[in-house]
Amino acid sequence: MKWVKRHWELVIPLILSSGLAIFELTEHLQDSRHHIAPEAFFWLFLVFLVGISSQLTKLDRPLVDRAMYQMFIDHARGNTYLEDYIRSTVTRLKTDLDSKEFSTHCEGHSDKELVHALKTCGKGDVVNAISYRVPWATTFHSYKQENIDAAKRGVVITRIFVIPDCFDSKNSEAATNLWDIMKEQALIGIKVKYVRQSQIPRNNDFLTHDRGTVEFRSGARDAVVMYEAAPSPLQGDRRKPLLVTVTWKPEDIAGEHDYFKWLLNLAHVHDVYPTTTEMSPPWIRRKQVTSAGSSGGSDAASDTGLFTKH
């Protein structure tokens, strides 16, 4: 039935032609004087040609337009609201595919795209992540669980936690909660590292920013998709929803990968081992020791932020 709907321009002339041919044959066998005028077959042949032309015109349309037209037939069925919804959705999809990126504001499901990407990763696939102010215990709870599941099925995950300077002894509860998450991830096989934000040096190739980045490399499939989760700026007393940008532009992926490797090799990046027994965040202890050793002086790069590739 669906095939008939798709090709009705051909089906109707074929049915009429078959009906007229059967009628003519029956009358001929019965030696009847009733015959169909040749003009009828001529006009029917013209209708048939029009149907073929219509089908060829459809084939000349771009594949996306043909898919949209088919959805009109299969789902809208003349409903103008649904036709408009299908048209806008398909157009948006085509725009995203042409630009090789899309962005979305996520309220309540900030980790949806990240979870979806992790679910597609299998054994041997690589995930390189930079975690900055990620709400692991609340909004990102499902992303946290998917990290656990991905590590169990053999996905190679390396995560660098960039510790905001405010996560110090004055904010010990938040710092301790973050430290517990870091130890938990290290325990399940994720390669966990951390660096204090103020200890990231300036570099002429990078600009200051404060966002997290996750890069997905799909092994033998040689397909790379990179997700960026960037906190939107404050507006009054309420934080805007998290902005998630997804891109598969080769130049952007290469830049982010270079940045990740640069960050990974910094002198102030520390490993979190699964066997660690430290109960309190070690960066607070290190900061206190450093401050005491420098007579209360601040770190050389205390005013710097997190950097990203041009």
Q: Are residues 148 and 272 in the same domain?
A: yes
Check residue 126 and give its pLDDT: 93
- By DSSP bridging, strand 234-235 and strand 238-239 are antiparallel
pLDDT tens, position by position, 88-126: 999 999 899 889 998 887 655 557 888 888 998 999 999
**112-119 and 141-152 helices cross at what angle (nearest 10)?**
10
* Over residues 118-138, mean pLDDT: 88
222-267 pLDDT, tens per residue?
567 777 665 544 444 345 567 788 888 888 888 888 889 999 999 8
pLDDT class for 72, splitting at 50, 70, 90? Answer: confident
The mean pLDDT of 180-193, rounded to a whole number, is 95
Residue 93 sits in the same domain as residue 136: no
| Per-residue pLDDT at 6 exceeds 60 | no
CB atoms within 10 A of CB 163: 25
Q: How far apart are CA 29 and CA 23, in angstroms?
A: 10
What local confidence, expressed as pLDDT, does residue 156 receive? Answer: 95
User: Do 174 and 164 share a domain, yes or no?
Assistant: yes
Same domain, 135 and 234: yes
Is the domain of 270 the same as that of 160? yes
Encoding tokens for residue 258?
């270079």
Segment 36-70, tens digit of pLDDT: 556 555 556 666 666 666 655 555 556 777 788 88
pLDDT at 304 over 80: no
pTM of the model: 0.69
Comparing 30 with 187, the larger pLDDT belongs to: 187
276 and 203 share a domain? yes
Residue 139 confidence (pLDDT) above 50: yes
Instruction: Look at residue 307 in the predicted model and tell me its pLDDT.
Output: 34
Query: What residue numbers bound the domain in which 69 lies?
Result: 2-99
Structural domain count, the chain: 2
Same domain? For 95 and 113 the reply is no
